[in-house]
Amino acid sequence: MRLKRNKSKKSLINQENLSIENIKSQLNHTSDLKDREIHSNNQIYIILYINSLVDQEKLESKIIKPLIKMENNNILNELYSQEISTAKSNKIAINGLLDGYCLLIKKGRNSEGFLLKTNASTDREVSEAIIEKTILGAKVGFVESLDKNIFLLRTVTKSPDFTVKNYTLGSSTTTNVSLIYLDHVTDPEIIKKVEQRIKSITLDSIRSAGDIQDCIEDHTVTPFPQLLLTERPDRASANLKDGRVALIIDGSPTVIILPATFMTFFQTPDDYITRWWLGSFFRFIRLFSYIIALILPALYIAFVSFHYEAIPLELVYSLQSSLSYVPFRPFIELMIMQLSLELLREASIRLPPSVATTFGIVGGLVVGTAMVEAGIVSYGGLIVVALTSVSSFVQPNLEMSSSIRILGFPLMLLAAIFGFLGIVVGVLFVLIHLSRLTSFGLPYFSPFVPLNMEDFKDTIIRVPSWMMYKHSKNSPHYKQEKRSRKWKLDESEEPY
Amino acid sequence: MGKTELFLILFILPLLAGCWDERLLKNSRTVYVSGFDLNENGDYQTTSIIRDLNISESSRGEISISNELVTGKGGSIKEASMTIDQSVPGNYDPAKGRTLILGIDVAKGDIYNVMDPLYRDPRVDLNAKIAVTDNSANEIITHLSENEVEKGEYLYELIHSSEIHSEIQDITLRSIRTYLFDEGKDFMLPYLSKDEEDNEIKINGAALFHDHSFTGQFLSPAESTLLLLFMETQSKKALLTEQLDKKAGGSVSYNVKSVSRKLRLEKEEKVHADIMLQLDVEIVDYPPDHLDKQEMINFLENRLSKILTEKADALFKKLAVNQSDVLGLGRELIAFHPSIWKEIKGENYYEHILVNPKVKVNVRSSGIIL
């Protein structure tokens, strides 16, 4: 909820000369804006800072103390601040103050001030990634601080190509956003596009990664996410090495990776840590479960209301025996189950872990079996819905698994009206839609449409890393990895 | 026209068609065996077993399954099934019928009269097996519904296992149609009968068909196997047993591993079909053994070749009597000797064909003895 804006908005951005009074009035004489006069070396210095954003100790020991003891007039040599910049306008000064800098002004020479870094940090300690869990991968996850996140990303991506570009977004409240890519690896065309799109954002304020996603994604009318949101530095780093771009938003532990293709959402760090057979198997299971989650409810409806001659005889009888006292049509039956499952899912997110176990038993087991025994749904329906939700949980990406949930309902409706024909038309429609999607100009359904055999090495199966070439042709490492197993040739030539 | 309007029209049009052919599983009464009979005044009688679910009111969820025997009469097969539909709750649905039984009266007439409504129904299981009975189909199905052991897919499995043992030709509702409309080929169907002593249903052999109708004669399983070997359509298992004289050790059982057939058709006074059949066999039961000796092998090969040639002679005489061209010699003539076919073609073309079979047995394996 947003409160009604004050219409008589002052012009925050003006280029007039630095003046303390001006700054104070532009910050509405807020109570935590403090100033202090210091007399030193026959000079009067004024320090202006926002009390709540500044680390008191840093300010005292590194700015005020040396300033008082200062013997000559060369400020820049005496102060212990690691970052000093000159502020020439009110706008720069105010932005600095809001970032936790303090403004040092020599009285009498109002036109020049220095911004000194004294910001306090209340960063959370780096902790384990919660949503995207892995078995063998790194445990660390992103936190809410921009600097720390860049730090995390840099430690796993040591390269001179690692490039950071900072942007400040938002017109009334500002948020710092960093664009990160590996130069020479990433297609310059993509970087240009991303920069252009980020610069065009004119929102009042950026609340989360979602705001940026909404503004820069290619297509908004689609259930498929075109940007990958991740909380794992290793995943972000792997994508950087593949020639993608990362966007880190200050205050958000979620990092945006772009451009993402359909298959990006099926990759996990575990695929590359385990041996390639296993990695390929997991990848295959994930794709399979995606299809299951998408069409299983629709298939069930089509089977029991149109094409039961296609199921084996004994299964017909067991399905029939459980269906015969369900008063609803299969579509309504599944909708009841799916909706109650969505309720359970939503409820479980907000619950504290201590209650969650009880909730799981009551919600899942008791309600499930009671619904069957009361004759509201059949066993077949229950199995289908349970399998569908398990399959959707297999997806490593939350956004992608939500897309199945949204797509599942229209497919169910089509199956209820037209049977198999409806499913075929529905799935075709989804495929056509996928083929038409783009992410930053790149085809979204990439290795499939347009067909690119080279990229299949990391799609349905994951080939061993020495067989995989770099994704981008600009990469200097292109084809180098093929030599990684040359030792085998050398060894075999050795005489026994 | 805008994109949205086009989309709306495409979306609404299929709904406007109004053909919602939904058939809910819970409303259907699925049939798993159907039989067709013809009574004296020319009416068809359909007998089916329907799986019925009885939900007891007292304890919820307790479901007992029972078999319900339903019969219907009518001037056509469709009318007969309509009469059944009127007598059962829900929809009478023959889609799951995996076995069709033809009563002897139906089989002796034109069996296509019964098949026609089945081919018109897109939901009928085309892999259904067809069998002929020596009595009325009604009797067999009544017996099935009463006998607890022979429920479910008993009949289907019975026929299927016979096919695996190369005792009957593999024929389904789908494949029989090609035989029915092939002028140069006939077929045989499993011949069922109720064994009064054991009180169970057995396959007695293969009923020989000529054109669209049953000839009344049937082959024993052994004869049928031999015929299937001549057709080169035996399954993986084709077990035969021959009686040898006492001195040679009673009897020998062998499994045919592979077959090669040479067929030569010549027109003289009649059309002569010389068939040379080479069988590679594996001995599976021969107590006197000594199969490691070449003389023993030679002896067996000679004896078996002689016996089988005699049997084949008798078999083809039987086929000639019944005019049943199961071997498909007519088709062979059409394909490779159209000039001969032109002379003899007609309904009874088989009269003009004289088959001269010759069997050569090669013992390839003496079986495994531990």
Residue A137 lies in a domain: no
**Co-location of A278 and A241 in the same domain:** no
Distance to chain B for A325, nearest Cα, Å: 8
Residue A295 lies in a domain: yes
**Co-location of A108 and A233 in the same domain:** no
Instruction: Give residue-wise pLDDT tens across range A131-149.
Output: 888 888 888 899 988 888 9
Determine which helix (DSSP H) or strand (DSSP E) holds B226, and give its type and residue range: helix B221-231
Residue A106 lies in a domain: yes
Q: Chain A: residue nearest B21 by CA?
A: A306
pLDDT at A112 over 80: no
Instruction: Give residue-wise pLDDT tens across range A330-354.
Output: 999 999 988 888 888 888 888 888 8
pLDDT at B148 over 70: no
**Co-location of A87 and A173 in the same domain:** no
Residue A469 lies in a domain: no
Residue A26 lies in a domain: yes
Chain B interface mutation, best of A309, A315, A371, A423, highest count of B Cβ atoms under 10 Å: A309
Distance to chain B for A353, nearest Cα, Å: 35
Query: Do B26 and A320 count as a contact with CB atoms less than 8 A apart?
Result: yes
pLDDT classification of A9: cutoffs 50, 70, 90: very low
Q: Chain A: residue nearest B64 by CA?
A: A321
Q: A420-436 and A276-305 are packed helices; what angle lies between their axes, rounded to 10 degrees?
A: 140
Residue A334 lies in a domain: yes
Q: Which of B21, B28, B153 faces A313 most closely, judged by CB atoms?
A: B153
Number of domains composing chain A? 3
Looking at residue A320, its pLDDT comes to 84
**Co-location of A235 and A314 in the same domain:** no
CB contacts, 8 Å: A324 with chain B:
26, 53, 55, 63
Q: A477 vs A23, A238, A355, A482, A485, CA distance in Å?
A: 52, 14, 51, 10, 15
Q: How big is the CA angle at B100 (ends B98 and B101), to the nearest 5 degrees?
A: 145
CB contacts, 8 Å: B22 with chain A:
305-306, 419
Rounded distance between C-alpha atoms, residue B28 and residue B51, angstroms: 10
**Co-location of A343 and A381 in the same domain:** yes
Instruction: Tell me the average pLDDT across B73-77.
Output: 91
Q: Which of A425, A443, A461 is the last residue of a domain?
A: A443
pLDDT at A179 over 90: yes
Query: Do B25 and A373 count as a contact with CB atoms less than 8 A apart?
Result: no
Residue A42 lies in a domain: yes
Model ipTM over 0.90 = no
Instruction: Give residue-wise pLDDT tens across range B328-338.
Output: 899 999 999 99
Q: Chain B: residue nearest A422 by CA?
A: B14
Residues 6+ apart with CB under 8 A from B345: B183, B330
**Co-location of A91 and A195 in the same domain:** no
pLDDT averaged over chain B?
87
pLDDT classification of A195: cutoffs 50, 70, 90: very high
Looking at residue A321, its pLDDT comes to 81
Q: Chain B: residue nearest A373 by CA?
A: B61
**Token representation of residue A373:** 């025994």
pLDDT classification of B57: cutoffs 50, 70, 90: low
Q: Which amino acid is at B15?
A: L
Looking at residue A15, its pLDDT comes to 46
Q: Which of A98, A117, A136 is the last residue of a domain?
A: A117
Rounded distance between C-alpha atoms, residue A451 and residue B72, angstroms: 59
Query: Do B65 and A306 count as a contact with CB atoms less than 8 A apart?
Result: no
Please choose, from the candidates A266, A280, A384, A386, the residue with its C-alpha nearest in 3D space to the C-alpha of residue A323: A384
Q: How big is the CA angle at A307 (ends A301 and A310), to the nearest 5 degrees?
A: 115
Q: A215: buried, middle or exposed (CB in 10 Å: 19+, 13-18, 0-12)?
A: middle
Three-state secondary-structure class, residue B145: helix
Three-state secondary-structure class, residue A186: coil
Q: Using the 8-state DSSP alphabet, how is residue A310 labeled?
A: G
Query: Do B65 and A321 count as a contact with CB atoms less than 8 A apart?
Result: yes
Query: Do A330 and B24 count as a contact with CB atoms less than 8 A apart?
Result: yes
**Co-location of A428 and A289 in the same domain:** yes
CB of B131 closer than 8 Å to CB of B168: no
**Co-location of A299 and A162 in the same domain:** no
Number of A–B residue contacts, CB under 8 Å:
62
Largest CA distance in chain A: 101
Please choose, from the candidates A155, A141, A157, A137, the residue with its C-alpha nearest in 3D space to the C-alpha of residue A272: A137
Residue A181 lies in a domain: yes
**Co-location of A113 and A157 in the same domain:** no
**Co-location of A296 and A249 in the same domain:** no
**Co-location of A47 and A175 in the same domain:** no
* Residue B149 contacts A, CB cutoff 8 Å: no
Q: Which of A226, A260, A294 is the last residue of a domain?
A: A260
Owning domain of residue A77: 20-117
**Co-location of A289 and A430 in the same domain:** yes
CB of B360 closer than 8 Å to CB of B307: no
pLDDT classification of A98: cutoffs 50, 70, 90: confident
